[in-house]
Structure 1
């Protein structure tokens, strides 16, 4: 159903760690509030909210209730003298661990090509799917056996660029927060040696390797049917002919980058796999060198599945050069990186269409010598972007870095990408200046937002329950697959349901928890992946 703005008290429905700041957002004018212990029913804390102000994104007047000084573990709620109340929430040390595990486990549920067995999938089990070799579009006699990998979203397409973004987020999370991944998910591959996050990423990486053209070294852009199946189609029932779309420079650049990154990360665990990743990366790089200018990808005429087109490929090449230089130390990649850095593209973004931020982070956090004017320029640019985001956070009624016009399709990806960037900026600057602001984005994700919902299936007292996700629609199970991040509010009204039911809503409230509203309530691997990264910092 469509979500009304909740004119009440909104909190992180998972709760707050004992020593973190603890802030709720209350709709309406400033007033007194009380913290209620669920067990005793007693008010254990009383205070006054901050000054009320207009929030441009939600259209609400809001004020904040700060109870950060209360550190006693327990289950609580908030009340005001005006009769408002919050959902229950926990104060404790382990409030995010289960959600972190579920966000990671979601990638297993996205797997294509194998049985999801009850042992690992529980009631969301289903059969193997999409095992037929795919036709190379335009070459009817040629087929590619590209089984495996992750379904991209609520449909069953598989795309190299978005997949590379998702794997990069998970590998970065493992690199920077290894202690967050010591517990088994578990997965079929769990062995107590290699962390499950790396087992899961390997499943996608091996699919990508099947997408590299054996003849040219370039990488096919995507693998899909000609059109999406019906909304309640289970994966194993989607039996239409599969097609791989032509090689693209964006896919090849992303592939070269993520394979070089994987070579570095997997080397301590499996030298043969790491070596194969590096060879695949270098072969893709050679394709890029032979094709310095290449047409932007567009869907072939008969294919109407997600296009993932791009205006340019300089950012993907830049990322590839950075990762290859970091992994190999070869000067030819350093030279290419410096040359690509002179081109005009965003060097801080972490989205599937703008990969420049991954190249910048790889370069700045490399063990290679990067004390140069270019490194300083990139460092200054990244920290400047972080401060711009921080300035928006300080003005936003709910404490996040989105401006009203940024509530677009997949706004929660922006929420999480920008939280990720704030944490990475702290790492580059060796500070903790943005840690609390990044945590505010987690509070938003799990309920401290204009509609008072947790945007993660299965978590919180008011979670998303009807995502645009075909397995969750078609499996006959009441609850959706847990741990999926919904796309979130979208002022664009880009599906029929949204146009009919959400017109006139404020940007931060243009959301509907219905399967039909794919432009607000779809799920994807690359919305989950930055959520894993950000939560990894806090577990």
Structure 2
């Protein structure tokens, strides 16, 4: 458990783009400040903070110090009232290494293969979870289950969350290809196919195994019956694996991400693209044949993550959008238009509410290829939602779009998902305030927050050191696996560790850097994936 007292003077501990807005936060009344060269103490910029405002989420007054006028590349600190901040850089491309690290994290999540020292460094480990899985309720039916990414701090693999993570990465590549020119490297790196597509393919090939060959539906998840102990390395987790029953939510996500993959991989591997599209169409037929399906619930003897989702309209909507965008088939367009009339969130990006992926797929298809009335309506709804987020940002001491109630389990996913949405609004609406607000969310993730933590392992002056992540606990390496986005403050205090140590804390301070805090300090692929998307926008 971390006992380090947070500084009240907080910055983005990685740094700031030279040409963009720059500011720090000071958790009490401010005043005159200086930006000094970290190596010499020489003053590079001087200014005055804005008056302090009470921040409800943090429970403290917060002053903002703006130093946008400083654009000279270098390494700096802020100095105010005798205190000095973490060092940070000002640079033309400050997030390139961070971006590679966030993407490399998916390699560390790989299941079913040896992570060799050449690529994994001290976090290498043997191949894991190679046994065939049992189809739950059919004990004599076993299927290949190897591959894919471990979902989180545990070793389960889940269709819907996996599809969200792949979708974020494929969208990032599609919209910001310049961010992926660097080699990670990965075992598959070949100088031809971008590494992000190699990494996504590793998950996609496993997702293909989650399609029931008998029906075309997608199994909801593949897990052991219970979680292993926290210090168990993946290769030592030898309990039997189970394919849990097909669900509509999983099948909709599967159809959508496979249609998306078919489009993006077409330029690199036509045979793989065909395989993905055929799988997407089979899954879509299952959805048509099963218009009303109960939401997934764990069987009584299963204690792993449920990812229950009673609403499947959003997943069907996403699937129709991606299949239409990939094929141009009017039957998918008509299905999308019908689903668009239904009431469900159409601009949420979470694993349970996937509607925004459908809306964005439709908008990205362009007004010339879509129903102009529906296109205009969805664009207006996107910009309206983004304006609501801007309004929240303007009232928040740290400039992000979380209300006090939004500090929930996985609040950093909410932060990055909303930054994604702001960047999409910037793409379609062009208002620079959307882009600047998204960058403020990056600043928050990397240390400019109420606790002075970089919420990405291995990056920043004061990163999280004790994530709830079994390989990081069990590998006997002092440093955790790098590049992992952790869940963040959670006002619900949903684990015993948080309940013991965080009673009475303000929402933005409900976090403890302790491996036992699974409700605040766990990691997952779908917290990393929106971070990759958002940071991609700011990588040259």
Q: Into which bin does the TM-score normalised by the smaller protein fall?
A: over 0.9
| Structure-2 separation of matches of 1:77 and 1:201 | 38
1:174-220 superposed Cα distances (whole Å, 9 cap, x missing partner): 00000100111111111111000000000000000011000000000
Q: Structure 1 residue 327 and structure 2 residue 326: aligned? A: yes
Give matches, 1:8-407, under 5 Å: 8-80=8-80, 82-367=81-366, 369-407=369-407
1:407-440 superposed Cα distances (whole Å, 9 cap, x missing partner): 0000000000000000011112244341111000
Partner SS, residue 227 of structure 2: coil
Partner SS, residue 155 of structure 1: coil
Partner SS, residue 221 of structure 1: strand
What is the CA distance between 1:83 and its match in structure 2?
A: 2.2
TM-score by length of 1: 0.98
| Structure-1 separation of matches of 2:96 and 2:280 | 34
| Structure-2 separation of matches of 1:502 and 1:346 | 33
Native 8 Å contact 1:2 1:501 kept in 2: no
| Structure-1 separation of matches of 2:27 and 2:339 | 48
| Structure-2 separation of matches of 1:40 and 1:115 | 46
Partner SS, residue 246 of structure 1: strand
| Structure-2 separation of matches of 1:399 and 1:322 | 33
Aligned to 2:522: 522
| Structure-1 separation of matches of 2:127 and 2:67 | 49
Partner SS, residue 408 of structure 1: coil
Task: Please list every run of 5 or more consecutive structure 1 residues that lacks an aligned counterpart in the other structure.
Answer: none
Give matches, 1:485-496, under 5 Å: 485-496=485-496
Task: Report the more deviating stretch, 305-314 or 26-35.
Answer: 26-35
| Structure-1 separation of matches of 2:387 and 2:432 | 13
Partner SS, residue 219 of structure 2: coil
Give matches, 1:504-523, under 5 Å: 504-523=504-523
What is the CA distance between 1:8 and its match in structure 2?
A: 2.1
Aligned to 2:426: 426
Partner SS, residue 65 of structure 1: strand
| Structure-1 separation of matches of 2:395 and 2:423 | 19
What is the CA distance between 1:454 and its match in structure 2?
A: 0.2
1:278-323 superposed Cα distances (whole Å, 9 cap, x missing partner): 0000000000000000010000111110000012100000000000
Partner SS, residue 205 of structure 1: helix
Task: Report the more deviating stretch, 203-212 or 67-76.
Answer: 67-76
What is the CA distance between 1:2 and its match in structure 2?
A: 5.4
Partner SS, residue 439 of structure 1: helix
Native 8 Å contact 2:165 2:526 kept in 1: yes
| Structure-1 separation of matches of 2:187 and 2:325 | 32
Q: CA, structure 1 residues 261+360, in 2 after alignment: closer, same or farther (shift >3 Å)?
A: same
Aligned to 1:438: 438
Q: Structure 1 residue 417 and structure 2 residue 428: aligned? A: no
Task: Report the more deviating stretch, 293-302 or 5-14.
Answer: 5-14
Q: CA, structure 1 residues 151+200, in 2 after alignment: closer, same or farther (shift >3 Å)?
A: same
1:127-146 superposed Cα distances (whole Å, 9 cap, x missing partner): 00001111100011111112
Q: Structure 1 residue 477 and structure 2 residue 477: aligned? A: yes
| Structure-1 separation of matches of 2:364 and 2:137 | 42
TM-score by length of 2: 0.98
| Structure-1 separation of matches of 2:433 and 2:82 | 36
1:103-136 superposed Cα distances (whole Å, 9 cap, x missing partner): 0000000000000001110110000000111110
Native 8 Å contact 2:8 2:450 kept in 1: no
Native 8 Å contact 2:321 2:358 kept in 1: yes
Native 8 Å contact 1:3 1:451 kept in 2: no
1:133-170 superposed Cα distances (whole Å, 9 cap, x missing partner): 11100011111112100000000000000000000000
Partner SS, residue 369 of structure 2: coil
Partner SS, residue 223 of structure 1: strand
| Structure-1 separation of matches of 2:198 and 2:3 | 38
| Structure-2 separation of matches of 1:29 and 1:180 | 39
Task: Please list every run of 5 or more consecutive structure 2 residues that lacks an aligned counterpart in the other structure.
Answer: none
| Structure-2 separation of matches of 1:371 and 1:139 | 45
| Structure-2 separation of matches of 1:311 and 1:395 | 34
Native 8 Å contact 1:153 1:523 kept in 2: yes
Aligned to 2:460: 460
Task: Report the more deviating stretch, 292-301 or 424-433.
Answer: 424-433
1:244-287 superposed Cα distances (whole Å, 9 cap, x missing partner): 10000000000000000000000000000001100000000000
1:1-41 superposed Cα distances (whole Å, 9 cap, x missing partner): 35777352100000111111110001111311111112221
Native 8 Å contact 2:160 2:220 kept in 1: yes
Partner SS, residue 190 of structure 2: coil
What is the CA distance between 1:498 and its match in structure 2?
A: 0.3
| Structure-1 separation of matches of 2:44 and 2:286 | 65
Partner SS, residue 62 of structure 2: strand
| Structure-1 separation of matches of 2:427 and 2:475 | 42
The size of the alignment, in residue pairs, is 538
| Structure-1 separation of matches of 2:222 and 2:204 | 14
